[in-house]
Structures are given as C-alpha cells and as structure tokens.
C-alpha cells in the first residue's frame, strides 16, 4: 500500500515542517522554532507569505524594519533560550537578503542558531535578468545568496521541491548540534517556492528533538585529571558554553568541591553570581585586575566552553609562558586551540567526569585566599568607579545606578564600542544567565534589535522581568528602528542611550596609540563644518517610546525607576564624557597593529610601548 502523501508547494512544506518540530524544556514540550521575523518583497511575499498566513498562531511572524536588525533579534532570541530554540528570518531576493549578511556573521561568530529563508532568482532563468539580480557573466549560477556560504554553518539552494525532505532536517540538525551550531541559510528561487510536490505525510508528523550530549573520551578525562591533580595554582575559565550546556550547577559544584577560583569570559558573564566566593571576576582585555592577576599566576588553566578569543587571553599574554591549558569543549576545533590538552565533550558531562577522576583533590588554601583577596580589592575599585560624582558623567556611573535598581531576573543587553568593556568590568551579576554582552562579532546595531529579540523570548518565560539595553550614540544612529518594533509589538524595553559625542572608544584607542583625534568624535571630523547634537529623546519619542534626557546619574536613577513602572518602552538619554569617563583598571595587553614608521614622535613611542609587551605573548605552546 503506498504511503500517504500531501500535495504542497515548496514554501508550504517548509513552514509545515517547522511547525511540527518540538523540544522539551524544563519538562514542557514547546516548538523549537518560536516564529520568525520577516520583511516581504517580490522574492518571498507571494509564495512564502502565502504559506505563513494560515500558520500565524503556530509560527508568529514579527514584521521587521530592517533585515539586519531582524537577524540580530533572532540571534538574541536564540541566546536567551540557550540555543534550544530559534527564529527564522525571511527576506526578499536582492538587497533585502543582502541586509542579513552582517547578522548571519554575528550568529556564526557567536555559534547561535538562526534560519534564513531567502528569496532567489528564478531557477528556469526564463525571465532573466530579473529585478535586483546580480549577473556574473561567466557563471550564471552564481548569485548574491552564494555570499552567505562564508557566514553559514549550513547552506543550500532548493532547486526541486523534493529537496526539502533532506534539506530541512539537515539544517535543523546543524542548528541543534552543540559542536556545529550556527546559522542555516536556505535559498528559495521564486519559481521553486510555488512548485508543488506530493510530500510524504510522515514529514509533517510532530517530532520531539533533544540536544546531543557527547560524553568525553575516558582517556582525555584521565589525562586532564592527572594534570589538574598536580596543580598548585589552578583556575577555571567559564565560557558561554557552560550556559548553553546547562552546566552552571556542575561548574559551581566542581569549583566548590576542588576549591578552584573561577574567572568568566565576556560570553560567560553570569555563569556565577557576583557574590559567590570563588567568582574571581571577568578575565582579559575588558576584565578585572583580580581575574587577570590570578590568571597570570596560574600554573594550570581549565577552560570550559570558551573559544579563547583574544579579549579573553589578552592576545595570549594573560597566562604564564609555562602554564598548561586544558580545554573542555563540545567543539573539537575549540578544544585543541594553542596546543591545549583537549577534552572534547559536553560541559555538563565533562565536568562531572573530570570531578570524579580528580577525587579528593583541592587547590591549596593559600591559592584560594590569594584569589579571594584580589576579588575584594577589585570590588572596592568597582564600588568607587561607579560612584556618582567621582568624575564627569561616565558609562560606569550609569551602569552602577542601573545595577543597583535592577531585579535579579532583569536582563542586560549591550554590544560593540566601549559599553561591552564597561559592563563586563563593572556589572555585578544578580542572577544566572542575565547578561548578554555581544562581543563575539562586536557588532554595532545589535543592542536595540537584540534587546527586542531578547524581550520576545523573555516575555514567553518570565514576563515580569525587564530587558535593559545599554547603547552608545554611535550604535543608536546606526540602528534604532526596533524602538518602533518594540512599541508596535508591546515588547517593553528600557533603553539607556549614553551619548559621548561619536565613536569615543575608538577615539581612545586612536589617542592611546599616539594618534591625534580624527574622524571619530563628531567634533573632530574635518568634513563637518559645524558639530550638530542629535536630540535622541525627541527621536525616540517620535517612534512611540516614552523618552527623556537626564543631566546626571541621580536623575538617571529616578527616570529608570519610573521606566520600570511603565508598561511601554522607555528611552533615557544621558551625556557622558568622552575622555575622562573610562574604567582605567582591569585591562590586559591587546594586540593591535601600530605603525613601525611614522613622522609622529608620539606614534613611534606608542609603537615601541605596544611592542614591549610582545615577549610575553605565547606562540602556540
């Protein structure tokens, strides 16, 4: 007897398949795909739009204002859900799809699942060249969508309706794989979207998926345990993979059982509350004196769930030259970096196995006391650094004010520029998994869009909490339209716009390398005859938000308290100093290219100063 079939278009089959895929989270079955973000054009409205219309309840579609920001929102949604759920983004052929490229790169760098369903030119080529088509004279099959191959973990072009049967499960498997996780891109030619096929009904039956947990190799665990057992000054680097694995409890138990100080990466912020006695602080270029002092003195470093980015390792100067590195990671590529002793496997299972193999080992009490003492000194510095009135208005002061007024489950979102460093260094974690600092791709524009995506996710699970966005004036001007999105969808945000008059953190880097201020601060742009101050509050109010400008941290606190009581998006603007407002402590060396030859004595001197730290840089051993 022939198997039952359903005749559907390619687009209809894709949407029905997505609606039938579930995952169990905290004992509750829920759809893996939380819906989508979409802007329709001629490349996706007639067929994919038709397929989405009857599925609005199962897969709600959020209308975006910009395809790039849609992708950022999808990435933040996936991050909130610890990669166990994702959103799709649909864009039309041509510039609509091209706008997603930056967001795909962000999701790829941060190992976040996101599905892109994008229009493409006609497979038959009968109407070629069509509107918005890029023609390659010697390769008619090459098009804009091929550009996504560099920023996708999975890429496919559907050239026949039957390919959906293979392609969609493969894309989903990639997005759910802890080692391979990242964005999936599916190009949908406009004619193929509407072609019909007799699909097996079994393709659309409900299926409950699970996230794979790979147990580490016993020999790798034994070798790692033997190395750790001989350590006199061990540390544990807690990366973002700890939260994605759901291994926060195991990390804490491991540290407590074996008395090992914990330092956090940027992606790993909020693996521990700030008050935990073994939490030694954030490490690296945007870190803390406490974590960096402990890292520099450590003899064995256990990295868990980190890709060991240069901001974590101080461009590989943060550790002693003879320190040994162990790396527990689900991804083989990450586990073996810099000749680390790899333990390839799930963080939750790996920490349990490693703890068992370590037995009764505990780090010397003198080492724990040293780490705790360094953290006490750092906490004292932060307390003074965030104090209002200690200098002109600063990022740190704003962070301190907000931190003191937040509830434990409020979520903080920021990205790019100077705020990631300031939030990482000065924010005291109130609860697990409540900090989203996007610094994997360090992408301007993520802040407000990512806040919107995070709020959509947060509203599903803990609607009483707030999503708080820290954004500079530069990123605000780059991408702000999701203030309007948040108002339209009723997804309240509290947005702090901290205006330092341009790209001040890059101006700081420019000055720190001996260069004069040039083309970063608005006042220093030679092509602008007259500096013009943007009225950010008026602009945000025009998009439906409650908006106001405050003069100082005291007024900021009062405005923030009122914003928490409101049920709609609030934007609070405060000017901060571009020169004197920075956190000056806690930084490791960071390799940047500096001119070896220059007419400027200051540039030459800065080059020599930068190069003086190079002997400390590990060379892969």
State the 10-residue block means of pLDDT for the chain, 621 residues long: 89 98 94 98 97 98 97 98 98 96 98 98 94 93 96 98 98 97 98 98 97 96 98 98 97 98 97 97 97 98 97 95 96 92 98 98 98 98 96 97 98 96 98 97 97 97 97 97 98 98 95 96 89 92 98 98 98 96 94 95 96 88 53
For the domain spanning 5-209, the CATH number is 3.40.50.970
Cα separation values, 180 from 119, 184, 506, Å = 25, 11, 33
Q: Which CATH number fits domain 389-575: 3.40.50.970, 3.40.50.2300, 3.30.1330.20, 3.40.50.10130?
A: 3.40.50.970
Q: Is 572 exposed, middle or buried (0-12, 13-18, 19+ CB in 10 A)?
A: buried
- CA 250 to chain CA centroid, Å, is 23
The reported pLDDT for the residue numbered 506 is 96
Q: Do domains 5-209 and 218-378 have the same CATH topology?
A: yes
Residues 496, 436: contact at Cβ < 8 Å? Answer: no
The reported pLDDT for the residue numbered 533 is 87
Cα separation values, 55 from 175, 399, 459, 489, 567, Å = 22, 42, 21, 18, 29
Give the domain ranges of the chain. Answer: 5-209, 218-378, 389-575
pLDDT tens per residue, range 460-499 = 999 999 999 999 999 999 999 999 999 999 999 999 999 9
pLDDT tens per residue, range 505-515 = 999 999 999 99
CATH superfamily of domain region 218-378 = TPP-binding domain (3.40.50.1220)
The reported pLDDT for the residue numbered 229 is 97
Measure the CA–CA gap between 448 and 495, rounded to whole angstroms. Answer: 8
The reported pLDDT for the residue numbered 531 is 75
Strands annotated E in 347-442: 411-415, 435-438
Measure the CA–CA gap between 85 and 585, rounded to whole angstroms. Answer: 38
DSSP 615: G
Residues 546, 565: contact at Cβ < 8 Å? Answer: no
Q: What φ, ψ does residue 575 adopt, rounded to 5°?
A: -80, 140
Instruction: Kindly report whether the global pTM for this prediction surpasses the value 0.95.
Output: yes
Q: Which residues of 272-296 are buried (b: 16+ CB within 10 A; e: fewer)?
A: bebeeebbbbbbbbbbbbbbbbbbe
* Selection from 425, 424, 428, 382 nearest residue 405 by Cα: 428
Measure the CA–CA gap between 76 and 79, rounded to whole angstroms. Answer: 5
Sign of the Cα torsion 596, 600, 604, 606 reads negative
The reported pLDDT for the residue numbered 496 is 98
Within 10 A of 549 (CB to CB), how many other CB atoms are there? 17
Measure the CA–CA gap between 128 and 145, rounded to whole angstroms. Answer: 16
């Amino acid at each position: 007897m022939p198997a039952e079939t359903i005749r559907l278009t390619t687009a209809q089959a894709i949407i029905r398949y997505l609606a039938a895929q579930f995952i169990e989270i905290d004992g509750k079955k829920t759809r893996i795909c939380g819906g989508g973000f979409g802007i329709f054009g001629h490349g996706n409205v007639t067929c994919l739009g038709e397929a989405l219309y009857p599925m609005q309840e199962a897969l709600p579609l959020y209308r975006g204002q910009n395809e790039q920001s849609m992708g950022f929102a999808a990435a933040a949604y996936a991050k909130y859900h610890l990669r166990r759920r994702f959103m799709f983004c649909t864009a039309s052929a041509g510039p609509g799809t091209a706008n997603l490229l930056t967001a795909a790169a962000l999701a790829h760098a941060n190992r976040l699942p996101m599905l892109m369903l994008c229009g493409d030119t006609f497979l038959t080529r009968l109407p070629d060249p069509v509107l918005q088509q890029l023609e390659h004279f010697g390769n008619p099959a090459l098009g804009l969508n091929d550009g996504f191959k560099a920023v996708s973990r999975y890429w496919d072009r559907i050239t026949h309706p039957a390919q959906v049967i293979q392609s969609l499960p493969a894309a989903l498997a990639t997005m759910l794989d802890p080692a391979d996780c990242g964005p999936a891109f599916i190009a949908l030619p406009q004619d193929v979207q509407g072609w019909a096929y007799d699909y097996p009904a079994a393709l659309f039956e409900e299926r409950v998926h699970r996230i794979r947990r790979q147990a580490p190799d016993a020999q790798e665990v034994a070798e790692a345990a033997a190395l750790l057992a001989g350590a006199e000054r061990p540390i544990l680097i807690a990366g973002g993979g700890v939260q994605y694995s759901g291994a926060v409890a195991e990390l804490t138990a491991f540290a407590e059982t074996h008395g090992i100080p914990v330092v956090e990466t940027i992606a790993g912020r909020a693996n521990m509350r700030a008050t935990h006695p073994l939490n030694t602080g954030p490490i690296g270029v945007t870190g803390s004196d406490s974590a960096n002092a402990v890292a520099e003195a450590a003899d064995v470093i256990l990295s868990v769930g980190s890709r060991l980015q240069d901001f974590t390792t101080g461009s590989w100067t943060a550790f002693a030259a003879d320190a040994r590195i162990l790396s527990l990671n689900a991804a083989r590529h990450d586990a073996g970096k810099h000749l680390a002793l790899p333990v390839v496997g799930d963080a939750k299972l790996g920490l349990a196995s490693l703890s068992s193999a370590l037995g009764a080992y505990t780090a010397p009490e003198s080492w724990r006391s040293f780490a705790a003492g360094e953290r006490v000194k750092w906490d004292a510095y932060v307390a003074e650094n965030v104090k209002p009135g200690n200098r002109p208005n600063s990022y740190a002061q704003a962070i301190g004010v907000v931190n003191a007024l937040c509830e434990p489950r409020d979520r903080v979102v920021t990205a790019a520029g100077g705020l990631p460093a300031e939030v990482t260094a000065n924010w005291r974690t109130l609860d697990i998994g409540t900090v989203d600092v996007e610094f994997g791709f360090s992408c301007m524009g993520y802040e407000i869009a990512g806040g919107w995506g995070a709020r959509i996710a947060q509203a599903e699970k803990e609607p009483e909490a707030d999503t708080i966005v820290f954004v500079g004036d530069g990123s605000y001007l780059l991408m702000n339209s999701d203030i309007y999105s948040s108002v339209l969808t009723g997804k309240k945000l509290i947005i702090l716009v901290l205006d330092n008059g341009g790209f001040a953190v890059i101006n700081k880097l420019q000055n720190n390398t001996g260069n004069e201020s040039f083309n970063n601060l608005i006042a220093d742009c030679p092509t602008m005859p007259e500096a013009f101050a943007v009225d950010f509050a008026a602009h945000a109010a025009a998009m439906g938000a409650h908006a106001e400008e405050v003069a100082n941290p005291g007024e900021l606190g009062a405005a923030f308290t009122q914003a928490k009581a409101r049920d709609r998006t609030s934007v609070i603007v405060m000017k901060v100093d571009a020169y004197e407002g920075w956190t000056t402590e806690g930084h490791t060396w960071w390799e940047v290219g500096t001119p070896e030859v220059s007419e400027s004595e200051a540039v030459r001197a800065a080059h020599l100063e930068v190069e003086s730290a190079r002997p400390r840089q590990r060379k892969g051993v």
